Amino acid sequence: MARSEAYEVVVVGGGIGGCFAAAAAAAEGADVVQLERKPAEEGGFIACGDAIKSPTDPKKYPGPIDMNAIVSDEAVLADGNINQIEWWDEELGVRKVLPYDKHSNVIDRYEFGQRLLEQTGDLGVTQHYDTVVNEIVQNGTVQGVRAIRKGEPVRYDADVVIDAAGAQSIIQDLVDFDSLDAPVDVTFEKPHYTHFGSAYREIVETKEPVEYANSIVGKPLEEMGYIWYFPRTERIINIGLGFQMNKPPIALADRLKQDIQSRPEYEGAIVHERFNKKNKLGAALALRRPLDSMVAPGYLTAGCAAGTTHAITGKGIRGAALSGYSAGRAAAEAVADGDVSEESLWQHNHYLYVEHGEGTKLAARDAYNVAAGSIEIPILRAIAAVLPEEEIREVVGTETSIDDFSSKLAIVTGALKNAISHYRAGSFSHLGVSVGELYAALSGFKTTREYVNRYEDHYWEYPESREEYFEWLSERNRLDEEFYDALELDAQHRKY
C-alpha cells in the first residue's frame, strides 16, 4: 500500500521552472514539496547552451531566489565577458556580428542547477529526489500525484500541482482535463510532438584558445536548426546542435562530430571532465508559443512544459524562471484564499502575457518559426545572409523593436542590396536559389514581420479573467488563419 503525504503545493520538476515555482510558493507561506526524478547529485544536470543574459535583473529573474549569490560563485559563472552573438555560414562566406548592448554570460548549467536546488531547499521547500510521477489524483480539481520514490509508491495529496517537468513531462497526458470543474467545457491545449526540438551538446577542452571566446556562435544545419559554440573559457567550449522535430531526424552526435572534425581549433580536443564526467547529453525543448492558458482547476504549468522558450533560438532559462515564479506565487495565493479554481489561478496567465509581457514577446516571435518551417533550408540560409544585423537581432531577441516606417524601409532596402551583392559574387549559385525565390521569400519575411507585430498587439490584450478568454482566443485563432492564408501555407505547414 502506498504511503501518503500531504502538502499544499506539489511541484513536479527540479529544473529552473520548478525551483522558481517552489521557492516563490514557499516564500508566500505555502507548504511545498518538490519532486525530482534524478538523484540529488544529478539535479540541474541537463543539456543546455548555458547562455544567460542579465541574471541579476530582478525584472527578468523575480522572486526569492538570490541570483546575485548564484552567479557570483566562480563554479557557476564560467564566462561573464560574452559581448556579441555571431552567425556563421561558412559555405556562403557570411559572418554576422550582433553586439550586445550589455554583456551576456555563459554558465556551468550543472553548478547553476545545483545552487538553485540548494537555495530552494533553504527557503523551506521539502525536496524528494529519485521520485517519478506516474499518476494524477483528481476529483473536480487536480488534488495531487502518485509517484515511485526510490522504488516505493507514494501518494502526494495537495491543493495545487505545478507541472514544471520540462518538454518531456507526462503530467499533461495524465490529467483528465475534460473531467475537471470548469464553467465551460474546453480541452486543455496539449503541445504536439512537432512543437518540440531535439538537442545534443558536449563540453570540450581545446588545446589552444579559440578566437571567438567573447561570442556565442551559431551556424546553420541542413534541417531547421543550428550548431552552436558557446565558450565557457578561452579553451572550454559548450558545443552542440538542435533541430525542430517536424523535420526528418538527424543523428545529432554524429553530425556534431562531423562539424568539429572540420574545424582546426577542435583538433585534439577532449571532453571536459572538471565539472561533471557526463558532459555528453541530449534533451528535448519546446519550440512553440506559450500555451494559450497555463492553468486548470488545481493545476498550473511552467517552463518548457508551458512552452516558454524562444521558438527560433530555443533560449529558455529566463522564460522558465519567470513562469515558475508566476506559477508559484499564484498557487500560494490560491491556497491561502481557499480557492484553487481556474479563475483563481488565472493571474498566472495574465502575469506572463500582460503584467510582465515575456509571454507576449515569445508568442509573437513564434510567427517567425511558423514561416521558417515552410521554407526550404537553402532559401532560409540565403535570407539569413542578406538580412541586416538589426533585423536578425529582432528575430532572435525579445527586447528590441523596429516599428517606424523609415526603419522598415531601410531593412528591406538593405536586404535587397545585400542580395544583389551576393548574387554578383556568386555566393548563392551552389545553393540553387534563384533571384525570384529569394525575393519571394523576402516578401514573405516582410509579411511575417507585420504579423509578428499584430500578434504582439493581440497578446498584450490577453484577458484578466477566464470569462473574456474565449472571445480573445477566437480572435487569436482568426489571426492564425489570416496569417496562414497570407503566406499561402498548406495544411502541412499550418502549425496549430
What percent of the residues of the chain are helix, what percent strand, and what percent coil, each to the nearest 5? 40, 25, 35
Containing domain of residue 26, as a range? 3-77+109-190+288-359
Closest to 216 in 3D by CA, of 92, 385, 103, 54: 103
Residues 222 and 172 in one domain: no
Confidence check: pLDDT of 100 > 70: yes
Query: Is 120 strand, coil or helix?
Result: helix
Residue 22 sits in a domain whose CATH number is 3.50.50.60
- pLDDT score of 410 more than 60: no
When pLDDT is averaged across residues 278-296 and rounded to a whole number, the result is: 89
Q: For position 105, what pLDDT does the model report? A: 85
Give me 396's grid cell: 532572435
- pLDDT above 80 (res 33): yes
Residue-level pLDDT at 112 = 94
pLDDT score of 273 = 67
Q: How many domains does the chain have?
A: 3
Q: Let me know whether 400 and 479 are in one domain.
A: yes
Q: Considering only 104-113, 244-253, 328-337, which range has the smallest mean pLDDT?
A: 244-253
pLDDT reported for residue 275: 46
- Indicate if 308 and 268 belong to the same structural domain: no
For the entire predicted model, the pTM comes to: 0.93
**Identity of the amino acid at 265:** E
Give the domain-ending residue among 359, 374, 404. Answer: 359
Last residue of a domain, one of 286, 313, 343: 286
Neighbours of 216 (CB within 10 A): 25
- Among the residue ranges 12-21, 137-146, 414-423, the one predicted with the least confidence is 414-423
- 491: its cell numbers: 495544411
Tens of pLDDT, residue by residue over 166-195, are 988 899 999 999 899 876 655 678 888 889
Same domain, 293 and 413: no
pLDDT digit string (tens) for 415-473? Answer: 656 665 665 556 667 778 887 888 888 888 889 999 999 999 999 999 999 989 999 99
Q: How far apart are CA 463 and CA 461, in angstroms?
A: 6
Residue 399 confidence (pLDDT): 63
Q: What is the pLDDT of residue 31?
A: 98
Task: Region of 62 please: left (phi>0), alpha (psi -120 to 50) or beta.
Answer: beta
The Cα–Cα gap between 51 and 117 comes to 19
- Residues 223-232 have a mean pLDDT of 92
Asked if 487 and 388 sit in the same domain, the reply is yes
**Per-residue pLDDT reduced to its tens digit, 391-406:** 788 787 776 444 544 4
pLDDT tens across 348-385, in order?
Answer: 999 999 999 999 999 999 999 999 999 999 999 988 88
Residues 6 or more apart whose CB falls under 8 angstroms from that of 387 comprise: 411, 414, 415, 418, 445
Q: Say yes or no: 136 and 26 in one domain.
A: yes
Give me the percent of the chain exceeding a pLDDT of 70.
91
Which residue among 314, 331, 359 closes a domain? 359
**Per-residue cell: 488:** 499561402
Beta pairing, strands 196-205 & 280-286 = antiparallel
